[in-house]
């Protein structure tokens, strides 16, 4: 069973155990549909949860009964001091009562330990569970919901005939011949799946960053530069746990810094989520709403990317280090599905403006990470690669991360005249919902631009119009 240790900076998560037990079939379905390798272990823990919860309640009842007896004896001892005229009788009675009190205190300690052990076991089980799955998620294959700048009539069945591989547009050959990328030198310096970018390719990265940040700020996102290192408990609280080998505990995504409790972030989502750990947002009728809070973070991202990758081992498609602009939202629970669609539409608009052809997909349960309740991916057509490739993703994580980060909000439900809690107003403390989305995964968009806008006749790559102002109004390179 997955067990996590918390640093002094991050409180232990608060799980709604009754809610989990009340929806135990939903969690069983989530475990099954995600096709996790430790499916049996998770299912067994889930089945044991009701028994543990009943034991926990029984222990609490025992403790309450012990406390009643203790208070009764303590009261007798207090009264006995007031009637010391019968010294012999009182001395004998007090001696017996004190022994009983000592035994009851010992029983209380033992039962309290049983309560804490049961609580820890229940928390470990709940902490290991993935999120529930949205009812619209497909079972095993993604469902295309939208097309962006399609090369075909989407109403017809012969869609795939429009997408034919073109080896002349391979981004590795194009950028290497132009001297704009060097994979060989990077392999010698850092290892495979690293790269150097030069001149226009490096400028293109900066242009994409500035474009994405500008668009995000125009949509109400505050810009930030978050840390690229996080404590492992924060990384785990975000839901970054190995999918390839969960049972062994090996981290297949995260670079763990030796002899520390820290790791390199796989995405700014991790340190953005950690920004509001242990925080309570206050909502009232008289103050400006603190939710939703929307941040746009630029960071370097680091991924070990273990496992067989085939053709993805070459070029910019799957690398160990890359720049990424990430979007993150904290919101009220009832608003998270609306924000998910808003993030998806934001991503679609940028891909459309860049002139790239892509499809938007509602992702199946077996492709969801542990925190995701629902996820949309956008895959751009890459002719040199000869297939569509994921360039952005957006997920609704509901309260999965906020429970583990202890990020809540207090809502004053009032009559509209007074935001302070009183007899007519109720104060509700809830966990926020969190969402994340890719604003710009730089290497893959560079790859898509090069492979889609390279002209084999002129041997030039056209720069998308929205990026030209960030590249000295250059139109080609």
pLDDT digits (tens, 9 = 90+) for 251-268: 468 999 999 999 999 999
Q: Residues marked as binding for L-serine?
A: 267, 303, 326, 436
Interatomic CA distance for residues 49 and 23, integer angstroms: 12
Q: Which of 117-126, 138-147, 240-249 has the lowest mean pLDDT?
A: 240-249
Whether pLDDT at 219 is above 90: yes
Q: Residues marked as binding?
A: 267, 303-305, 319-322, 326, 390-393, 436
Yes or no: say if 267 and 322 are a contact pair by the CB < 8 Å rule.
no
Give φ, ψ of 60 to 5 degrees.
Answer: -65, -40
pLDDT digits over 398-424, tens only? 999 999 999 999 976 544 444 444 555
Indicate the length of the chain as a whole number: 477
pLDDT digits over 193-204, tens only? 999 999 999 999
Segment 126-140 shows an average pLDDT of 96
Its pTM surpasses 0.85: yes
Structure tokens at 292: 């939703």
Q: Residues marked as binding for ATP?
A: 303-305, 319-322, 390-393
Whether pLDDT at 164 is above 70: yes
Greater pLDDT, 433 or 155: 433
What is the residue whose two structure tokens read 């799955």? Answer: 133
Interatomic CA distance for residues 74 and 125, integer angstroms: 39
Radius of gyration of the CA atoms of the chain, in A: 29
Interatomic CA distance for residues 340 and 304, integer angstroms: 28
Q: CB within 8 A of 146, min separation 6: which ones? A: 348, 359, 360
Structure tokens at 291: 């939710």
pLDDT digits over 312-321, tens only? 778 999 999 9
Yes or no: say if 266 and 256 are a contact pair by the CB < 8 Å rule.
no
Side-chain half-sphere CA neighbours of 321 within 13 A: 14
């Amino acid at each position: 069973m997955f067990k996590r240790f918390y640093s002094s900076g991050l409180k232990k998560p608060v799980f709604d155990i009754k809610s989990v037990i009340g929806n135990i079939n939903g969690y069983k379905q989530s475990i099954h549909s995600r096709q996790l390798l430790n499916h049996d272990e998770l299912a067994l823990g889930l089945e044991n949860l009701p028994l543990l919860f009943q034991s926990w309640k029984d222990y609490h009842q025992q403790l309450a009964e012990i406390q009643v007896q203790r208070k009764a004896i303590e009261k007798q001892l207090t009264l006995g001091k007031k009637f010391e005229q019968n010294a012999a009788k009182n001395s004998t009675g007090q001696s017996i009562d004190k022994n009983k009190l000592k035994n009851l205190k010992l029983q209380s300690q033992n039962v309290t330990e049983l309560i804490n052990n049961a609580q820890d076991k229940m928390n470990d089980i709940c902490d290991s569970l993935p999120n529930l799955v949205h009812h619209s998620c497909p079972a095993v294959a993604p469902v295309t919901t939208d097309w962006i700048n399609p090369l075909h009539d989407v109403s017809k069945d012969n869609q795939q005939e429009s997408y034919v591989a073109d080896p002349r547009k391979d981004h590795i050959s194009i950028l290497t011949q132009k001297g704009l990328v060097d994979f060989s030198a990077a392999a010698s310096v850092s290892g495979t799946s690293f790269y150097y970018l030069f001149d226009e390719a490096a400028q293109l990265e900066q242009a994409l960053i500035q474009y994405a940040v500008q668009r995000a700020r125009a949509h109400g996102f505050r810009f930030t530069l978050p840390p690229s290192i996080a404590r492992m408990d924060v990384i785990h609280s975000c839901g970054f746990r190995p999918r390839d080998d969960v049972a062994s505990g090996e981290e297949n995504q995260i670079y763990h810094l030796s002899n520390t409790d820290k790791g390199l972030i796989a995405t700014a989502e991790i340190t953005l989520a950690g920004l509001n750990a242990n925080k309570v947002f206050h909502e009232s009728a008289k103050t400006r709403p603190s939710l939703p809070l929307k941040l746009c973070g630029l960071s370097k991202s680091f991924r070990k990317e273990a496992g067989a990758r085939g053709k993805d081992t070459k070029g910019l498609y799957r690398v160990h280090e890359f720049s990424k602009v990430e979007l993150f939202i904290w919101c009220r629970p009832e608003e998270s599905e609306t924000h998910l669609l808003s993030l998806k539409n934001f991503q679609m608009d940028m891909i459309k403006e860049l002139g790239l052809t892509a499809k938007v997909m509602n992702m199946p349960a077996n492709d969801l990470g542990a925190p995701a309740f629902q996820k949309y991916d956008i895959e751009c057509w890459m002719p040199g690669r000869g297939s569509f490739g994921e360039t952005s993703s957006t997920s609704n994580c509901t309260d999965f991360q906020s429970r583990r980060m202890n990020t809540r909000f207090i809502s004053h439900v009032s009559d509209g005249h007074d935001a302070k809690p009183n007899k007519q107003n109720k104060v509700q403390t809830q966990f926020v919902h969190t969402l994340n989305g890719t604003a710009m995964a730089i290497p893959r968009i560079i790859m898509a631009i090069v492979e889609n806008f390279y002209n084999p006749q002129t041997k030039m790559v056209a720069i998308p119009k929205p990026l030209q102002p960030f590249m000295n109004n250059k139109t080609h390179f």
